[in-house]
């Protein structure tokens, strides 16, 4: 039975995942490296773009409900705060060594029955958990941005993930109002392979002058029903993240269709990392470039 949840990382994904659990009355603890980062995360969960205050304004929840949901949240910089958690989700940047270290710290501080999950969008779960002793409780739980709205959770099962762990995460996902889809552990799983290929094709067609960024985004949305076009999506996820994912997938699979384009690399090297970082004085992303 999962009652208490821990989340490592208070970025956009960590905030969104926490909000979903809080709204479903799970006691939720977010851990990050310092209190200032955590204060900003709490503020965003309460009053950010997808925060609870906006739900109050839209009459989706009441002010009283919002206040009760916020009471479900605790923050900490200490991994020992995870000692009573039944599930801990790692949601730190897509850096293998960082994720491996986080997993090791989680295992040292949770009880023997706690499930350890990663929100990675593409790094193999078996690689992240290489140094974890009990691999039967390790699983991938890949959420999508924005987590409070997107219904899919890509559940990644390794060779060593137990049936009990898998079934618990599937059941939990449904309780949260999400739709779980189970995939095998593989670089990029299904969704990231699909998205990376789609993004690369879009970039190649843009480079050939087939259509503008704006029109490519428009056609993806109006022609195929995607909520975002490829360039909007890259801006939201972060061009640097897209590049890092592409580098990883190409190095692991050798599939040239997944290799980041040189135009994408040029953007990242020039400091354009996407609108996700606008508040940190980033230069922005594709749609901030005037062609």
Q: Please, is 17 exposed, middle or buried when counting C-beta atoms within 10 Å of its C-beta (0-12, 13-18, 19+)?
A: buried
Domain boundary among 166, 184, 202: 184
- pLDDT tens digits along 64-120: 999 999 999 999 999 999 999 999 999 998 889 999 999 999 999 999 999 999 999
pLDDT at 283 over 80: no
**Per-residue confidence (pLDDT) for residue 1, from 0 to 100:** 87
**Per-residue confidence (pLDDT) for residue 287, from 0 to 100:** 75
Q: Is residue 118 part of a domain?
A: yes
Same domain? 176 vs 257: no
In angstroms, the CA 5 to CA 7 distance is 7
Nearest Cα neighbor of 18 from 137, 109, 146, 123 is 146
CATH number of residue 201's parent domain = 1.10.1040.10
- pLDDT tens digits along 200-257: 999 999 999 999 999 999 999 999 999 899 999 999 888 998 998 899 999 999 999 8
Q: Is residue 109 part of a domain?
A: yes
Q: Please, is 219 exposed, middle or buried when counting C-beta atoms within 10 Å of its C-beta (0-12, 13-18, 19+)?
A: middle
Q: Is residue 289 part of a domain?
A: no
Domain boundary among 154, 184, 214: 184
Q: Is residue 63 part of a domain?
A: yes
Same domain? 116 vs 247: no
**Per-residue confidence (pLDDT) for residue 237, from 0 to 100:** 83
Same domain? 206 vs 102: no
The Cα-based distances of 91 to 12, 25, 40, 198 in angstroms read: 9, 20, 16, 24
Contact in structure between 160 and 152 (CB atoms under 8 Å): no
Same domain? 62 vs 166: yes
Q: Is the pTM of this model over 0.75?
A: yes
Indicate the number of domains in the chain.
2
**Conformational region of residue 202, where left means phi above 0, alpha means psi within -120 to 50, and beta covers everything else:** alpha
- pLDDT tens digits along 138-164: 999 999 988 999 999 999 999 999 999
Q: Which two tokens stand for residue 139?
A: 């699983």
Same domain? 31 vs 134: yes
Same domain? 111 vs 211: no
**Per-residue confidence (pLDDT) for residue 276, from 0 to 100:** 61
Q: Is residue 100 part of a domain?
A: yes
Same domain? 45 vs 150: yes
- pLDDT tens digits along 229-239: 999 999 988 89
Look up the domain containing 156 and give its range: 4-184
Q: Is residue 291 part of a domain?
A: no
Q: Is residue 272 part of a domain?
A: yes
Helix H or strand E segment including 59: none
Same domain? 49 vs 108: yes
Same domain? 202 vs 166: no
The pLDDT-based confidence of 195 (bands split at 50, 70, 90) is very high
Same domain? 179 vs 218: no
Q: Is residue 168 part of a domain?
A: yes
CATH number of residue 58's parent domain = 3.40.50.720
The Cα-based distances of 176 to 43, 66, 108, 148, 172 in angstroms read: 22, 17, 27, 10, 6
Give the DSSP per-residue string, 103-117: HHHHHHHS-TT-EEE
Same domain? 233 vs 168: no
Contact in structure between 110 and 5 (CB atoms under 8 Å): no
Same domain? 236 vs 122: no
Domain boundary among 184, 204, 223: 184
């Amino acid at each position: 039975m999962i009652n208490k949840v821990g989340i490592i990382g208070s970025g956009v994904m960590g905030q969104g995942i926490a909000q979903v659990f809080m709204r479903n009355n799970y006691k939720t603890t977010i851990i990050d490296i310092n209190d200032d980062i955590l204060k900003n995360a709490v503020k965003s969960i309460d009053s950010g773009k997808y925060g609870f205050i906006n739900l109050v304004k839209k009459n989706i929840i009441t002010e009283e409900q919002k206040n009760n949901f916020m009471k479900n949240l605790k923050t900490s910089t200490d991994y020992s705060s995870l000692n009573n958690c039944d599930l801990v989700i790692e949601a730190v940047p897509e850096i293998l060594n960082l994720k491996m270290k986080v997993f090791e710290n989680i295992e040292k501080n949770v009880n023997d029955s706690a499930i350890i999950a990663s929100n990675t969008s593409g790094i193999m779960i078996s690689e992240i958990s290489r140094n974890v002793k009990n691999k039967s409780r390790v699983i991938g739980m890949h959420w999508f941005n924005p987590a409070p709205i997107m219904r899919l959770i890509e559940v990644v099962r390794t060779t060593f993930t137990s049936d009990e762990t898998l079934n618990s995460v599937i059941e939990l996902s449904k309780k949260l109002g999400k739709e779980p889809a189970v995939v095998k552990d593989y670089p990029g799983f299904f969704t990231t392979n699909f998205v990376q290929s789609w993004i690369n094709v879009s970039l190649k067609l843009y480079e050939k002058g087939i259509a503008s960024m704006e029109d490519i985004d428009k056609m993806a949305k109006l022609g195929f029903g995607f909520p975002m076009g490829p360039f909007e999506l890259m801006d939201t996820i972060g061009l640097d993240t897209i590049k890092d994912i592409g580098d990883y997938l190409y190095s692991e699979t050798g599939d040239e269709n997944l290799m980041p384009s040189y135009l994408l690399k040029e953007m990242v090297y020039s400091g354009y990392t996407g609108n996700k970082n606008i508040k940190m004085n980033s230069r922005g992303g594709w749609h901030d470039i005037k062609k």
